[in-house]
Chain A
Amino acid sequence: MAAIPRTLGAIVTAPLTWIARAIDPPLRWWQRLTGLNGMAAVFLLPNLAIFGVFVLFPLVLNVVYSMTAGTNILLGDRSFVGLDQYQRLLTCEDYTQAITCREDMFWTAAGNTFFFVVLQVSMMILVSTITALILNRNIRGRGFFRAVFFFPVLLSPVVVGLIWRWILQRQGLLNLIMVNLGMEPEVWLNDRAYAFTATIGVSVWAHMGFYTLILLAGLQAIPKDLYEAAEMDGTPPARVFWRITLPLLGPNLAVVLVLALIRGVQIFDEVYVLTGGGPGTSTLYLTQYIYEVGFASILRNPGLAAAASILMGLVLVVLTLVQLGLSRRNEQRGSRQ
């Protein structure tokens, strides 16, 4: 007989208890049959199912698509072409000149993405490190500033793009201010250099809060008395930074570096809203290229898009492996202490 539930908590948990009792016998039976490893499989199964349906299956599908050609969407209507799509992507007469490639847009996008990632990630690390160092000091209103810098992270990328387009467009806020200050307005988003810089600046603005938080956590994990020991020895501030702060922040910096790299390679939404890849192709990055080739252009080519996304995926896999390796090393270092 079940006891009469007396408290609200008991009432709420009662159904769960019943479920637990109901599934207990079959689980016991399964454990007797397969041992502990079998049990692990049972508990992993729901998550694996979701992973399988939404990640693994599309991934396999993508590989299959990358070996087919045509404009049809349904796989049955498509013809198998082997590695032709990859060959098409990777064929160039002169690999230093995107224009000589068969898929010059792919190479343009890849080149843009490369320069974007190098510059954006450097900026990101510099800016978020400096911000974290400042926020780590005992300044007035620290909590407020921490929130301010983190706020953009909470915005959806489309909103970020819209906000900055509203600021930077020809009749935008920035030009309004400049005109009122007696300066000539600029066509920020229609100038190649300005637009490229804007995509870097905006994405740094949008994501730095996240990295700042990681670095701030790292800074706060450095024991205060290390700094006091250094102070007793009269260590100059610069030496404290280079010899104590930076090495001890190293693991966090490595995580930030790899995460920023991965997200930099994937850049799409805010840039697509902000510049649409323009002017011309000056802010066309890989994800947008894939999107346009696969879905948006009149002569869509899903096979080519799939192949391009596999190539980009390979780069991300390498970066992710690096990241996993780093975090494993950190864990080991942590457990040794």
Chain B
Amino acid sequence: MGRIALNDIRKSFGKTEVIHGVDLAVEDGELVVFVGPSGCGKSTLLRLIAGLDRPTSGTIEIDGADVTRHSAANRGLAMVFQSYALYPHMTVRQNLSFGLENTKMERAEIRRRIEDSARMLEIEELLDRRPTQLSGGQRQRVAIGRAIVREPSAFLLDEPLSNLDAELRVTMRAELAQLHERLGTTMIYVTHDQIEAMTLADRIVVLRKGRIEQVDTPLNLYNRPANLFVAGFIGAPNMNFFETTASDGRAELPGGLHIDVPQDGKITAGIRPQHLRLANREEEALEGTVTLVEALGAETVVHARALDGTAMVTVLSGQPNLGIGDAIRIALDRGEVHLFDAEGQRIDPS
């Protein structure tokens, strides 16, 4: 079992509060990913759950029991560190068994667990090596193995793949997904990487400056971001934003393109680059000048500046014949426009 609940968690370092009241419920077996910009408190939150730090206020529950005052060891969780934190002077086998030897576990049981996890992670041949004799990916596996042998009720992973090169990261990401599938254990996973978040998560927690901005499934976050921050954070390239003022249910975007809006006043319209396309001659369009063309082969990322100076990015399929300085007319699917009010909160079309 691994239900984890955070109730109004706050954390201060000295006088500065870095976590400002976080509520979150993680279901048993769920894989929850924390994302957010650097310094938003992802690691801090994870360490609070782990018991490596104590919250200033609020409570943490695991399977319904209040563990706020429990030591890290008594929470039944296992952590995988970004740096792997393998003991450099011990062999892989000793690294795996070290934590188990603290409990009164029988030798045979320790052996069994090490062999099982080594088989699962395909590190059987490495058991007698030291961490310095392993590649980055192998160390990563050992670090995960050290967590697995403890058979925790939940895994906590702080940017576990960030020290690997791009290719290995993709492989390990897939393996982690399989591992989660297989073990069915709750995982809380911290990452910078949107793709990791989108592909691994059952639910994503978007954090910003010590607050939760939105918690939802990856596709819901993408399709219905709750506010400007989430809209801008999820999806690459970043969403285009156009600030405008609406009256009589209509708002004008740069270049004279009009959209219908459910409320008047200051409004921000957000459109993903993938939902912009080149306009037909007769269509209403955003007009601008091309400032940069990034040809990726299958698609082309075109940066442009609208007539009023607003920067916009569009992703066009194929290899359109565009160069810097060209005039460009961009059309949009009105159904794909996200609207946000003056406070940056989502407005649902009525």
Contact = CB atoms under 8 A, between A and B. Distances in A.
Contacts of A223: 83, 85
A145 to B, nearest CB: 22
Nearest to A234: B73
A221 B87 CA distance: 13
A105 to B, nearest CB: 47
B74 to A, nearest CB: 7
A230 B85 CA distance: 9
A235 B98 contact: yes
A234 B72 contact: yes
B135 interface: no
Contact of B83 (A225, A232, A234): A225
A247 interface: yes
Interface residues of B, number: 24
Interface residues of A, number: 21
Contacts of A337: 88, 132
Nearest to A231: B72
Interface stretch (A36-44, A56-64, A236-244): A236-244
B88 A229 contact: no
B56 to A, nearest CB: 18
A336 interface: yes
Contact of B102 (A225, A239, A333): A239
Contacts of A336: 132
A228 interface: yes
Interface string A182-197: 0000000000000000
Contact of B73 (A233, A243, A247, A248): A233
A226 interface: yes
B87 A232 contact: no
Contact of B89 (A232, A234, A236, A247): A247
A239 B73 CA distance: 15
Nearest to A228: B52
A235 B77 CA distance: 14
Contact of A232 (B73, B88, B132): B73
Given A228-B81, A336-B132, A337-B88, 9 more contacts: A225-B81, A226-B85, A230-B98, A231-B71, A231-B73, A232-B72, A232-B79, A235-B98, A247-B89
18 contacts: A223-B85, A225-B85, A229-B87, A230-B98, A231-B52, A231-B72, A231-B73, A232-B77, A233-B100, A234-B71, A234-B72, A234-B103, A235-B98, A235-B99, A243-B87, A247-B89, A248-B88, A250-B89
Interface of A: 223, 225-226, 228-236, 239, 243-244, 247-248, 250, 333, 336-337
